[in-house]
Amino acid sequence: MKIGIVCYPTFGGSGVMATELGMALADKGHEVHFITYNQPVRLDFISHRLHFHEVVIEEYPLFQYQPYELALSSKMVEVVEKHQLEVLHVHYAIPHAYAANMAKKMLLDKGIHVKVVTTLHGTDITLVGSHPTYKTAVEFSINKSDEVTAVSNSLKEDTLRLFNIEKDIRVVYNFIDGEKYNKEKEEECKRGALANHDERILTHISNFRPVKRTDDVIKIFYEVQKEIPSKLLMVGDGPERIKAENLVNELGIEDRVLFLGNSDEVAKILCFSDVFLLPSETESFGLAALEAMAAGNAVISTNTGGLPEVNIHGKTGFLSNIGDIHDMATNAINVLKDDSVLDKFKQNAMEHTSVFSLDNILPQYESIYKKCYIKA
């Protein structure tokens, strides 16, 4: 099929997922066109079936806010027409689902039919989307999409609770390309570059927004390092980073915590690590936790949103209430203090990722694309 993918081209999970999906679809013989304002960070042009179309915004002094949705809709119309795309698969409802539905209407006026598949990822529903500022437009875009998917049962329930939804929402979990993580394991993991051989490594990866509670990550680690010789890797960047760095300094653990910034070598970094920390306020799925599990990390997380669907309490890691630093630190210490316990959790975590394998998930999206046409 000929598929257009619209996403945020950044390090955020929805953009990462959309990019991995596009590359996997191209590998299976589909023609995939990314329509975004930058080349997606994880996009490598290993296939001649992958294309990237940049959405360019013309700045005009009258506008306090540049009308990105208009530029995006116009670009979608242009690309669909030129390349005869059959489906526009948009990731993250705001503003992508709205822009895609407008593009669909404009194309219909020209006698061109394209289907819109919207994948809901998280804060497009829970934090931002349901805010009165956006709610009407988000609800409209969801109801007008040909197919709607959510990345977890929890997100589906949140969507049905927060909006007046007239469509079926199908749950399609995020996926993982296990091959990538196995490859890192096979190549020698140069752990010694970051920690002494007797030290454990804990990792946190996020966009350092308040919802990730990065201060809790530092506080949990502070308790852990009192009992277990260890290092903490903080990967990513965002508004809370300076605050997290200040807290590390206040607690006097600068020599134990490394801030690595944004990285497109997440698989390499995770291969060093033993435990992944994700104490989020809300998390519709927790793609970073899944990636960590694939690299053999036990996960210490909160029990919010879709996290219990990914991280199985007592098997792949542990779940705690939001803000319960003591419980999360205790769980991490219990996992880390004994080699055989840690190995068991790591093994379980890796095994559990088979539920989210590319082989399981990709056909679900392909059948959704086909279903749009069968229904028409």
Would you tell me which residues interact with ligand GMT (CB under 6 A)? Answer: 8, 12-15, 17, 92, 121-123, 151, 174, 211, 282-287, 305
Nearer to ligand GMT, 180 or 191 (CB): 180
By beta-carbon proximity to ligand GMT, the closer residue of 178 and 223 is: 178
Choose between 4 and 286: whose C-beta lies nearer to ligand GMT: 286
Q: Looking at the chain, how many residues does it have?
A: 376
Rank residues 30 and 212 by Cβ distance to ligand GMT and give the closer one.
212
Q: How far is the CB of 88 from ligand GMT (least distance, A)?
A: 18
The distance from CA 235 to its chain's CA centroid, rounded to whole angstroms, is 14
Q: CB 302 → ligand GMT: shortest distance, Å?
A: 11
Closest contact distance (angstroms) between CB of 22 and ligand GMT is 14
- Residue 7 CB, nearest distance to ligand GMT (Å)? 8
User: What is the smallest separation between the CB atom of 12 and ligand GMT, expressed in angstroms?
Assistant: 3
CB of 323 to ligand GMT, least distance (A): 16
* Both tokens assigned to 181: 């993580």
Nearest residue to the partner ligand GMT, using Cβ: 122
Sequence-ordered list of residues with C-beta below 8 angstroms from that of 154, at least 6 positions apart, any chain: 284, 305, 306, 308, 309
Residue 313 burial (10 A CB sphere; 0-12, 13-18, 19+): middle
Nearer to ligand GMT, 13 or 22 (CB): 13
CB 226 within 8 A of CB 252: no
Helix axis angle for 325-336 and 214-227, nearest 10°, is 50
Least distance in Å: CB of 15 to ligand GMT?
Answer: 6
Start-to-end Cα distance in the chain: 16
Nearer to ligand GMT, 285 or 345 (CB): 285
Shortest distance, CB of residue 223 to ligand GMT, whole angstroms? 24
Contacts for 24 with CB less than 8 Å, ≥ 6 apart: 177, 358, 362
For ligand GMT, the closer of residues 205 and 269 by Cβ is 205
DSSP H helices, 145-240, are 153-162, 178-186, 214-227
Closest to 151 (Cα-Cα) out of 270, 20, 256, 252: 20
Half-sphere exposure (Cβ direction) of 276: Cα atoms closer than 13 Å: 34
Contacts of residue 237, Cβ cutoff 8 Å, sequence gap at least 6: 207, 208, 261, 262
Q: Which is nearer to ligand GMT, 243 or 344 (CB)?
A: 243
The sign of the CA dihedral 342, 360, 23, 376 is negative
